Structure 1
Amino acid sequence: MSEKVSFPAKDGSAATGEIVLPKQGGKAPAVVLIQEWWGLNDHIRALLDRLGAAGFIALAPDLYHGKTTRDATEANRLMTELDKARALDEIAGAVRFLAAHERSNGKVGVMGFCMGGALSFAAAATIPELAAAVPFYGVPSPAPDYSRVKAPILAHFAARDGWATPAAAEAIRQELTARGQPMELHVYDADHAFANDTRPEVYNADAARLAWDRSIAFLRQHLA
């Protein structure tokens, strides 16, 4: 079960979120989990629990500051109105908070879904402390300066996605590859949000399981 937590954003102002610690003792790797456009809801809490069970300290910043919704129109409004610079400041603060956490081994990655996937790419380009990034079906707009990316990236996209298209993901991969920056890209025979098991109309159990297993292995490799 996650617990509420407060931490300073990059600019020193107050930020909040929810955190889960692994049950096993000793130092552990850490992951910042970035919400979908619905907000920090029970689905994100379930993902925090899964990361904790896999042995990670996991923190989800509350980028909507207490707001959640189940309505797509409202979710789109919340995402559109989000101050992305402020959100990245809060994500950067979460990274630093986890790096210094008493249970942390000092290595921090980021994982995000939908809007959070787009912010994961942006975080990789703006937060040099990150050791790994795992975006799910999200592309930032406008594009960040990918020349600043240092962390290895594992990206998951859906073949039938008109918002975060495989072509857009491939363009990012090619740009990074041209600079010698590794990005592993997987495209699944699935729809946008295929990993969200609270949405039966798009959930794809096989693709979700494979993407999750790949993500955990990738994070363990780069955050050890």
Structure 2
Amino acid sequence: MSEKVSFPVKDGSSATGAIVWPKQGGKAPAVVLIQEWWGLNDHIRSLLDRLAAAGFIALAPDLYHGKTTKDATEANRLMTELDKPHALEEIAGAVRFLSAHERSNGKVGIIGFCLGGALSLAAAATVPELAAVVPFYGVPSPAPDYSRVKAPILAHFASRDEWATPAAAEAIRKELAARGQSMDLHIYDADHAFANDTRPDVYNPDAAKLAWERSIAFLKQHLG
């Protein structure tokens, strides 16, 4: 079960989110989880629980500041109106909070879905403290300065995705590879949001299971 947490942001404000702690004692690696366009809802909280069960301190910043929706039109409005530079500052604040926490081993990764996947890639270029980046089917627009990416990236995209297209993901991978930066890209025979088990219209259990297992192994490799 998650608990509410607050943490400082660089501009002097504070942000809030949900945090879950792993059961084992001692120091643990940490992961920032970034919401889909629906907001910090029960599905995202269930992913926090899964991350904690895998041994991570997991924190999801509440980028919509208390708002959630089940309506796609409203979700699109919330995503469009989101102050993305400030959202990235809140994400950076979450990373710094986890990095310095007494329960943390000091290493922090990020994982995000849909809107959160796009923000995870943007954070890779703007939050130098990150040690691992795992975006699911999201492409930031406008594109960040990918030359600033330091952390390795494991990206999951869907073959039938007209929003976060495989071609866009491959273009990012090629740009990073040309500079010797690491991005491992997996394309699944699936639709956008294939990992969301609350959406039977698009959920693909096999692809979701494989992508999650790859993600946990990757995060443990780089944060453990």
Q: Deviations over 1:84-117 (max 9, x none)?
A: 0000000000000000111100000000000000
The aligned residue for residue 183 of structure 1 is: 183
2:173 matches 1:160 = no
Report SS of the residue matched to 1:131.
Answer: strand
1:1-224 equivalence runs, <5 A: 1-224=1-224
Per the TM alignment, residue 10 of structure 1 is displaced from its structure 2 partner at its CA by 2.5
Shift, 1:144, TM fit: 0.1
Kindly state the Cα deviation for residue 12 of structure 1 after the two structures are TM-superposed: 2.5
Question: Which consecutive unaligned segments of at least 5 residues does structure 2 have?
Answer: none
Structure 2 distance, partners of 1:207, 1:148, is: 30
TM-score normalised according to structure 2 size:
1.00
Amino acid at match of 2:63: L
Q: CA deviation at 1:9?
A: 1.4
Q: Which amino acid aligns with 2:136?
A: F
Q: What letter corresponds to residue 129 of structure 1 in structure 2?
A: E
Cα RMSD after superposing both structures: 0.4
State the TM-score, normalized to the length of structure 1. Answer: 1.00
Task: Please give the alpha-carbon distance, in whole angstroms, between the structure 1 residues aligned to 2:25 and 2:120.
Answer: 28
CA distance in 1, matches of 2:117, 2:2: 21
SS at structure 1 position matched to 2:198 = coil
Cα offsets for 1:52-91 (capped at 9, x unmatched): 0000000000000000000000000000000000000000
Percentage of pairs with the same residue: 87
User: Which aligned segments of 4 or more residues in structure 1 are displaced greater than 3 angstroms?
Assistant: none
Distance in 1 (CA, whole Å) between partners of 2:4 and 2:121 is 25
| Corresponding pairs, count | 224
CA distance in 2 between partners of 1:79 and 1:18 (Å): 19
- 1:163-213 CA-partner distances (Å, limit 9, x unpaired): 000000000000000000010000000000000000000000000000000
